[in-house]
Amino acid sequence: MRMIMAVLVLVVSVSLTEATGCVSTSGLQCYKNSTKRDEDFFCEWDERNPEKTQTHTLYIWDSEKKRFLMYANCGNQSQRKIRLEELGIPNRKTDIWVQTQVGNLTCNSSKISVILACMVKYSKPQIISMKRSAGSLDLTLDKPNDDKRAIYEIRWRERDSKWQTVTFETEDRTQDFYKLHLQINSSYQIQLRRQAKVQSALCNSSLHALWSDWSPMMDVPLEIRSPPVIRWIQNNQSNGTRHIKLSWDAPPAEESVGGVEYNLTFLVWPCKKNKRMQHSTVNQTYNISITYSEARIYINAINKVGSSPQGQIIIPAVKHLNYCESHMPSHVTKANNKTCLEWYKLEDGETRPKTVNSSSTKSFKHIKNDKDVKHFVRHYYFLHIKRKGHYQTVAMCPFYSEQKAPINGPANVNISDLTHESAVVSWLSIPVAEQQGFLQHYVIWISGQGNTKFHKVPANKTSFLIKDLHPETSYTVSIAGRTEAGNGPNSTVNFETNSKEKGLSWQDHTILSVCLFALLSTLICSIAARRLKLLPKVPSPVIDTTEFRCPEEQDLSQMMEEVHEFVLLLRQDLSKPRENVTSEQSTLLQDFGLVVFEEEDEEDEEGGVIDLNSIKSCFYPNPSYRGQTLHLPEPFHMTDSTSKDSDTESTYRNGLFFETKVLECDKTSL
Read off the pLDDT of residues 385-413 as tens digits, 9 standing for 90 and up.
888 778 889 889 999 989 999 999 999 99
The answer to whether 59 and 9 are in contact (CB under 8 A) is no
> Confidence band (pLDDT; 50, 70, 90) for 207?
low
Torsion of CA 462, 467, 470, 475, to 10 degrees: -20
Same domain, 235 and 203: no
Do 614 and 643 belong to one domain? yes
User: Do 595 and 667 share a domain, yes or no?
Assistant: yes
Domain boundary among 220, 243, 270: 220
What's the pLDDT tens digit per position in 438-469? Answer: 999 999 999 998 899 999 999 999 999 999 99
- Kindly state whether residue 56 falls inside one of the protein's structural domains: yes
Q: Are residues 114 and 36 in the same domain?
A: yes
Rounded Cα gap, residues 294 and 266, in angstroms: 11
Are residues 216 and 259 part of one domain?
no
Question: Distance between CA atoms of 98 and 86, rounded to whole angstroms?
Answer: 17
Q: Give the contacts of 553 (CB within 8 A, at least 6 positions apart).
A: none
- Whether 23 and 101 map to the same domain: the answer is yes
Task: Assign residue 461 the CATH number of its domain.
Answer: 2.60.40.10
Specify the pairing of strand 423-428 against strand 463-466. antiparallel
Name the domain boundary from 118, 148, 180.
118
**Are 470 and 423 spatial neighbours (Cβ–Cβ below 8 Å)?**
no
Calpha distance 10→4 (Å, rounded): 10
State which residues form the domain around 305: 230-315
Residue 661 DSSP SS3:
strand
Instruction: Indicate if the pLDDT at residue 245 is higher than 90.
Output: yes
Q: Cα dihedral sign for 463, 469, 473, 476? A: negative
DSSP 60-113: EEETTTTEEEEEEEEET-SEEEE-HHHH--TTSEEEEEEEEEETTEEEEPPPEE
Decide if 531 is inside a domain. Answer: no
Whether residue 145 is found in the same domain as residue 245: no
11 pLDDT band (50/70/90 cuts)? Answer: very low
For residues 122-139, give the mean pLDDT: 90
Confirm whether pTM is higher than 0.75. Answer: no
Do 577 and 660 sit in the same domain of this protein? yes
For the chain, the straight-line distance linking the first and the last C-alpha, in angstroms and rounded, comes to: 168
- pLDDT tens, 179-194? 999 988 899 999 999 9
Q: Which pLDDT score is estimated for 284? A: 95
Domain count, the chain: 6
Same domain, 552 and 584: yes
